[in-house]
């Protein structure tokens, strides 16, 4: 799963990171973003994004329903830890 967010501004500045712009993300989870002032990076990022889309595989509900009982148990256990992650 690719969780990073990216933004290209005027083909000159790129922002890449995992932060959601809310207080929980910025203060509790310490999520950050990086600004890159490079025309080369800003030109290449949209191409990389398109390549990532081509390489991705959709997640379907049927795939989730076919999880083994042990996988479901682990997922439920992870939900208990969610507030700490």
Q: pLDDT tens, 18-54?
A: 877 777 777 777 778 899 999 999 999 999 999 998 9
Query: Is there a contact between 19 and 25 (Cβ–Cβ < 8 Å)?
Result: yes
pTM over 0.85: no
| Percent of all residues in the chain with a pLDDT value above 90, rounded to a whole number | 32
pLDDT-derived band at 1 (thresholds 50, 70, 90) equals low
pLDDT the model gives residue 23: 75
3-state secondary structure of 60: coil
Nearest CA to 34 out of 11, 10, 5, 12 is that of 5
Number of other CB atoms surrounding residue 45 within 10 Å: 19
- String of b and e for 11-41 (b: at least 16 CB within 10 Å)? eeebeeeebeeeeeeeeeeebebeeeeeeee
Q: Cα(70)–Cα(76) distance, rounded to whole angstroms?
A: 10
């Amino acid at each position: 799963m690719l969780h990073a967010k990216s933004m290209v501004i005027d083909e000159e500045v790129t922002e890449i990171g995992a932060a959601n712009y809310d207080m929980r993300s910025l203060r509790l989870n310490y999520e950050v973003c990086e600004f890159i002032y490079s025309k080369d990076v800003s030109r290449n990022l949209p191409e990389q994004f398109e390549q990532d889309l081509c390489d991705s595989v959709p997640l379907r509900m049927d795939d989730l329903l076919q999880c083994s009982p042990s996988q479901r148990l682990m997922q439920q256990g992870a939900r208990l830890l969610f507030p700490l992650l």
